Amino acid sequence: MQEQVINCEDLARHYRVGNQTVKALRSVSLTIQKGEYVAIMGPSGSGKSTFMNIIGCLDTPSRGTYVLNGTDVSKLEDNKLAEIRNKEIGFVFQTFNLLPRYSALENVMLPLIYAGYKLEDRRNRALEVLNQVGLSDRVSHKPNELSGGQRQRVAVARALVNKPSIILADEPTGNLDSRTSVEIMNLFNDIHSLGNTIILVTHEEDIALHAHRVIRLRDGKIDRDEINPNPIGYVELPPEL
């Protein structure tokens, strides 16, 4: 029997805007198993950002339950949510979210500081994942000395460093050119092949088709939840001119 990483039951999120209640998420129920590669899609206003915030423990639902790796995080206080976030979730953002004055190595080591690792252990683990994403020769470079693709690789390494339950990627190719986007999606395929659980939030169909399962939201509900029979695998890139 597969191990459940995520179990959501009747998730809803409502916001007060003036005198009105905005129902951003309405009764979403789903499970995601360990090792799955899932894309979350939907047009603007579909609820995918709200859903991502709840899955990422950045927000709590107005109703329903969210169990992450055996822990019900639906009603946790902010400080407990922060602990869960750092331990269980590796984030990859469209804008990279790297600290400009820190080197690639220092950026990747950051989550391990909060997790209480000793300096030598932090350094060794950060070097390990930077090597994994193909940046062993860029560890001392700061973000402004790296290309967009290299910065996103640093962000992926930072997401992996704590060995989280899930990698949550929000439009990870949104700021990248076509070739670099393919390189990053190849990297995600490599990471998935090692057994990592990946949840990819995107509005781009060609990016979503790398995932093995595609969940489409509309008007705050699941519109379709489908297995992708032909996920895009590793894409061979021609040599650059």
CA nearest to 146, candidates 189, 182, 180: 180
pLDDT, one tens digit per residue, over 55-111 is: 999 999 999 999 999 999 988 888 889 889 988 999 998 888 999 999 999 999 999
For the entire predicted model, the pTM comes to 0.92
Which of the four pLDDT bands, split at 50, 70 and 90, describes residue 241?
very low
Higher per-residue pLDDT: 241 or 234 = 234
Neighbouring CB atoms inside 10 A of 32's CB total: 22
Q: What is the chain's length?
A: 241
Query: What domains lie within the chain, and their CATH numbers?
Result: 36-61+78-227 (3.40.50.300)
CA nearest to 98, candidates 36, 157, 144, 143: 143
Would you report the helix, strand and coil content of the chain in percent, each value rounded to 5? 35, 30, 40
Residue pair 136/59 in contact (Cβ under 8 Å)? The answer is no
Report the chain's terminal Cα–Cα distance, integer Å. Answer: 49
CA 39 to chain centre: 10
pLDDT at 115: 81
* Neighbouring residues of 27: CB distance < 8 A, sequence distance ≥ 6: 10, 11, 12, 64, 221
Residue pair 37/200 in contact (Cβ under 8 Å)? The answer is yes
